[in-house]
Amino acid sequence: MNKLISRGGSAAIASTLAFTSMAVSAFEVGSLTVNGYLRQYISVNLEDQPETTDDDAWETQMLRTTLFLDATLPTGPLNWTGRFRFSKDVQTDYEDDLENLTDLGGGFNKADFEDEYDETELKDVTRELFFDWEVNDRLSLRVGKQQVVWGETDFFHATDVIHGYDIRWRSFLVPENQDVRKPLGLIVANLLVPEASGELQLVYRPGWDDDDDVGNHIPAFGGRWSLNRNKGFNLIGSAPFDYHHEEGDVDDAHYGARWSGSLGEDDAVNYSVSYYHGQTGFQQDPILVCSDQSAFGTAACTGPFNGLAFILPETDTIGASASGYMAGIDTVWRAEFAYSPDRPLGTAFGEIVEIDAWNFVFGIDKTLRLQNALGTSSPSLFTVQVFDWYLPDVDDEPTAAAGGDVVMNFIGSGKYDEHNVIASAILNLPYAGDRWTVSLVGLADLTNGGGAFIPAVEWAPGPKWRIKLEADIFFGGDTQTPGGFPPDASVFGAFENMDQLLLRASYQF
């Protein structure tokens, strides 16, 4: 643990504590109200990383400070909301080592970790900025940079296809989806139709966002969340994003509609149907293909990297979701499916193949009253979800559906199979008048094996402080072949050696 706080860490923490010791509270100026938080993240490796020469166990992996401001201002019929996040990473010795590894000689292909992690420029700091206008009792509009969430399930995005995610600084492990979802400039209209017990939502994205606001921001630049055997290798430097590819141009409009409502006696079933034309659909990761917009400007993939680029293909997603309550077992069920016809995917050869893709999710939520058995202070929520990304006729061996090749996911799960099934389970255990909450999260890859176990405890001593300690433990699955290309790890095998501890301290106001 002697390396827990490395270069810059002490200073960052000291400045944080100095700031938070002041009397900070929500403030109001006229009708302007501002809330938010100041947060410090500290994470340490629990294992050595084979990519570096040093022993990385107990090395500080992340030192990140975030100031978040959430402001609201009513002006006549419009209610304005602005959400601003300033985040700064103090680069640790470990990250220095990784960044240096990305230098292939003379600065060639070297990644800029600070540029990847920090949110200091106005466009990045402005997370959301929109106004709400309640036109009448039925129609309301929300216009501006915002987040729109569809579907019934968290973490697995079936019909929730409007936004990408920024998983560069903390991979998929941030439980608050809104903190990693990438907001977009949208015009959203909601029309209540009580006669049909429902609501119609229309979403239009004119395409005025910056290029990199669309699709997932992936950690494939060699940093702390690059997958195993790829840390210290800047894949994006070799295969940059082509945001204006013929298969998907971020300047083009995205649009869609969702009808949500309830059916049956006493609103027995909540349901929705939706359609969205956007980019990347329910697999928000970009695909790696041969492109004429690559770093080297060549059209053909003549070498391992020449001509390769990440693109965000256009997709149409047709989806539906439903949820209901089973009184007999006091359990809520949730189901969701999405269909993306002719979904462009990349092969190991960098070719684009179009495959009908399906996404199925089923989950249950059960309230467990464990007060007598485990001494908890309130009921516990137990959630189980099963997710299947279904690609008919695709196999992890070359198939005709993939043009005689395999369908690849260069971001995490290596080769796709016909069914790609993941299950999750979450249990929360509140104690001591709900001031301490233990959470247990389990994930399992039911196709290729492996999983993750994420125990955490959060202390909420009052209205201001939130202190969370979390362990991220990965196990099993197919691991990456050393030196192999393309990647062949499975979802959780790709996280080999990446066990870590995270401390998150927040002071909210």
Partner 1 sequence: MINSEKNLLRSIVVGLAFSLSTTSASAEVAEGTVLSKSNIDQLYEDSFDGHKIKDLLTKKMEMMIRDFGMVMRLEKSTDVKFPSHYWEASKANQGKATLSADGKAVEGFVAGIPFADITEDDPMAGWKLEWNHFYANPLIGDSWAASGDVWVTTNEGGVIDNFKAVSAKAITEGRTEGEAKIAGDNDHASYLLVLTEPYDAKGLGVFTKQYNNGKLDDGWVYIKNLRRTRRTAGGKAWMDPQPKMDLLNDDNQTVLGFPAFYQDFKLIGKRWILAVVNAPDPNVAHDPKDFIDLDNPPHWVPTTDANPWQPREVWVVEGIPPEEHPYGKKVMYMDVNFPMYYLAEIYDKKGDFWRIWRQSYSPSKTASGEPTLAFIMTQAIDFQRQRATFINIEHMFTNWLEQKWFNQSVLQKAASGAFQKELDSVRQRYLKN
Which residues contribute to the site for partner 1 (CB under 8 A)? 26, 33, 35-37, 70, 72, 74, 79, 81, 132, 134, 137, 140, 147, 149, 151-152, 154, 175-179, 192, 194, 199, 262, 265-267, 270, 323-325, 327, 330-332, 334, 365-367, 369, 377-379, 430, 433-435, 461-464, 466, 506, 508-509
- Distance, CA of 321 to CA of 336 (rounded, Å): 4
Identity of the residue, 267 or 393, whose beta carbon is nearer to partner 1 in the bound complex = 267
CB of 75 to partner 1, least distance (A): 12
CB of 379 to partner 1, least distance (A): 5
- Measured in degrees and rounded to the nearest 5, phi and psi for residue 20 equal -75, -15
- Distance, CA of 462 to CA of 353 (rounded, Å): 54
| Token reading at 483 | 């030196």
Identity of the residue, 128 or 396, whose beta carbon is nearer to partner 1 in the bound complex = 128
Closest by CA position to 318, among listed 279, 273, 252: 273
Cis ω for the linkage preceding 486 (within 30 of 0): yes
| Token reading at 337 | 């499916």
Identity of the residue, 70 or 395, whose beta carbon is nearer to partner 1 in the bound complex = 70
Identity of the residue, 266 or 482, whose beta carbon is nearer to partner 1 in the bound complex = 266
- Distance, CA of 156 to CA of 193 (rounded, Å): 29
CB of 508 to partner 1, least distance (A): 4
The DSSP code sequence of 371-385 is HHHH--SS-EEEEEE
CB of 198 to partner 1, least distance (A): 9
Identity of the residue, 277 or 466, whose beta carbon is nearer to partner 1 in the bound complex = 466
350 in Cβ contact with 407 (< 8 Å)? no
Task: Tell how far CA 258 is from the center of its chain.
Answer: 22
| Token reading at 102 | 């990305």
CB of 265 to partner 1, least distance (A): 8
Identity of the residue, 5 or 364, whose beta carbon is nearer to partner 1 in the bound complex = 364
How many residues can be counted in the chain?
Answer: 509
Identity of the residue, 70 or 114, whose beta carbon is nearer to partner 1 in the bound complex = 70
CA distances from 468 to 13, 31, 39 (A): 16, 33, 11
CB of 273 to partner 1, least distance (A): 16
| Token reading at 464 | 């201001």
CB of 401 to partner 1, least distance (A): 34
Identity of the residue, 5 or 191, whose beta carbon is nearer to partner 1 in the bound complex = 191
- Measured in degrees and rounded to the nearest 5, phi and psi for residue 507 equal -115, 115
CB of 366 to partner 1, least distance (A): 7
Identity of the residue, 332 or 427, whose beta carbon is nearer to partner 1 in the bound complex = 332
CB of 296 to partner 1, least distance (A): 41
Residue 456, C-beta contacts closer than 8 angstroms, at least 6 positions apart: 438, 439, 441, 468, 469, 470, 471
Find the DSSP H helices in 403-494: none
- Distance, CA of 428 to CA of 447 (rounded, Å): 27
Report the 10 Å Cβ neighbour count for 26: 11
CB of 45 to partner 1, least distance (A): 27
First to last CA, the chain: 32
CB of 20 to partner 1, least distance (A): 14
- Distance, CA of 221 to CA of 112 (rounded, Å): 9
- Distance, CA of 343 to CA of 436 (rounded, Å): 45
